[in-house]
Amino acid sequence: MHVPRRFDKAHTVADFRCLAKAFLPQPVFDYLDGGAEYESAMRNNRAVFERVRFRPRTMVDVRKRSTETELFGTRVAAPFAIAPMGGLGLFWPRAEIAFARACAAANVPYGLSTGSNSTIEEVAAAAPDAQLWFQLYVFNDEAMNHALVERAQASGYRALMVTTDTHLFPKRHRDLRNGFRSTLSKTPRNILSILRCPRWMWHMMIRRRLPAMVNLTLAHDRPIDRMAAASYFLNERRPSFDLEHLKALRRQWKGPLLVKGVLRVDEAIQIRNCGADGIILSNHGGRNLESAAAPLEVLPEIVDAVGQRMSVLIDSGFRSGNDVVKALALGAKAVLFGRAGGYAVASGGEAAVGRLLDLMRNEVDRTLGYLGCTAVDQLSRDYLLFDRGLPGSNASPALTI
């Protein structure tokens, strides 16, 4: 597929967002760009970064720097990954494969969603060198859950992420106004929006069929049609997933196990006691619970409680390498980019994602140098100052509440 190199002049996530908005029909862009209800959680995810500022050291030799780190026993080129996102096929053809290949080239992990539009096996085959993590949405049908985990294990996925914060279908005002649930309603307004985007229409509706959630099956040996899969995905999520179910997953999965969607200290401790290797602090990018706390707000207290015994990762609201360094200095092991990656893939597929990852790594590297650090493991809260409203460790002299 010919890809116009429109993204060559993209230097920020905001630039990729503008390109995505120009390419996508408005209802599809709103699905990518929007949040839950009044979007206060989504706005706060960004605002919290303004309450954390740097306190650099300057008399340090920083000529030789490295952004490398280790995640679950594997060396990676930078302390970030691409978060799992469902429905990516609406943004770019074979978007999951584009992500996996770009992440393999950048030597950072890629998280594949249960709701992906390429199968577990297709992504693994298309990017054999990628560090693939599989994200599990837990369904009422235990056989379905078991089959998905077994397929990921057999395909060589290195880590399993179980998402625990999306057991109910969220209320997103933008999507409701656009008639967008799992599919786009065929209203005159939506049809006109699509007709105004001929490049998207050509790639998504003419050259390829509209995406389906191809990982889902009813009998585990035959695919179900697109509408049935979407209905299953929306209506069969298990709202009763608890610690006993997590222990069962721990017994089944032979590798690093992460729980995604944590925002509480007590829950982080319980998850660690169940044998999980890591948690991902997340409010789903502000897409689920209105007024949910920003993960960065609770990061210090959770790191203080469990950071010595398990890896604490974080997502939601990250838009720059500068943001990444703030989270690392607060104790996070790595950051996952979600919506930012969605903007990039809609700007130009694999090549655009590669550019985003390169920009983020360069920004992390530059910020390290300005702080007087030569490696990410040198970061600490001593390099930060806080405005009121961001919790932290009592042991940090740089903290003011």
pLDDT digits (tens, 9 = 90+) for 61-94: 999 999 999 999 999 999 999 999 998 999 999 9
* Integer Cα distance of 344 and 100 in angstroms: 13
* Integer Cα distance of 28 and 193 in angstroms: 9
Cα distances (Å, whole numbers) of residue 146 to 138, 140, 153, 168: 10, 11, 11, 21
**Residues carrying an active site annotation:** 284
* Integer Cα distance of 15 and 347 in angstroms: 9
pLDDT given at position 225: 66
On whether residue 391 sits in a domain, the answer given is no
Length of the chain: 401
* Integer Cα distance of 297 and 301 in angstroms: 9
Q: Which residues contact 219 (CB under 8 A, 6 or more apart)?
A: none
On whether residue 347 sits in a domain, the answer given is yes
User: Which two three-digit tokens encode residue 183?
Assistant: 């599919």
On whether residue 392 sits in a domain, the answer given is no
On whether residue 57 sits in a domain, the answer given is yes
Instruction: Answer whether residue 401 shows pLDDT above 60.
Output: no
- CA angle (146 as vertex; 144, 150 as ends), nearest 5: 120
pLDDT tens per residue across span 258-302: 999 999 999 999 999 999 999 999 999 999 999 999 999 999 999
Average pLDDT estimate for 351-374:
98
Q: Which residues contact 116 (CB under 8 A, 6 or more apart)?
A: 84, 86, 88, 89, 96, 123, 213, 214, 215
- CA angle (357 as vertex; 352, 360 as ends), nearest 5: 125
User: Which two three-digit tokens encode residue 336?
Assistant: 């996952």
Cα distances (Å, whole numbers) of residue 296 to 292, 299, 332, 373, 389: 12, 5, 9, 22, 11
Average pLDDT estimate for 100-113:
98
* Integer Cα distance of 330 and 153 in angstroms: 32
Average pLDDT estimate for 358-377:
98
In DSSP notation, 286-323 reads GTSSTTPPPHHHHHHHHHHHHTTTSEEEE-SS--SHHH
The predicted model scores a pTM of 0.92
**Which domain does 320 fall in, by range?**
6-386
Which of 170, 173, 146, 172 shows the shortest CA–CA distance to 160? 146
* Integer Cα distance of 346 and 95 in angstroms: 9
* Integer Cα distance of 83 and 343 in angstroms: 13
Do the Cβ atoms of 243 and 274 come closer than 8 Å?
yes
pLDDT tens per residue across span 191-241: 888 888 888 888 776 656 667 788 886 545 555 666 777 788 888 888 899
Do the Cβ atoms of 234 and 139 come closer than 8 Å?
no
User: Which two three-digit tokens encode residue 80?
Assistant: 């970030």
Instruction: Answer whether residue 174 shows pLDDT above 80.
Output: yes
On whether residue 401 sits in a domain, the answer given is no
Of 300 and 391, more confident:
300
On whether residue 397 sits in a domain, the answer given is no
Q: Give the CATH number, domain containing residue 206.
A: 3.20.20.70
Partners of 384 in beta bridges:
54
Q: Which residues contact 399 (CB under 8 A, 6 or more apart)?
A: 381, 384, 386, 392, 393
Phi, psi for residue 147 in degrees, rounded to 5: -65, -45
pLDDT given at position 209: 62
Instruction: Answer whether residue 323 shows pLDDT above 60.
Output: yes
Identify the band that residue 144 occupies on the pLDDT scale cut at 50, 70 and 90.
Answer: very high
pLDDT tens per residue across span 145-155: 999 999 999 99
pLDDT given at position 237: 87
Instruction: Answer whether residue 378 shows pLDDT above 50.
Output: yes
Domain count, the chain: 1
Of 359 and 394, more confident:
359
Question: What mean pLDDT, rounded, does the chain reach?
Answer: 91
On whether residue 396 sits in a domain, the answer given is no
Instruction: Answer whether residue 42 shows pLDDT above 90.
Output: yes
* Integer Cα distance of 25 and 259 in angstroms: 33
Do the Cβ atoms of 220 and 117 come closer than 8 Å?
no
pLDDT given at position 182: 67
On whether residue 398 sits in a domain, the answer given is no
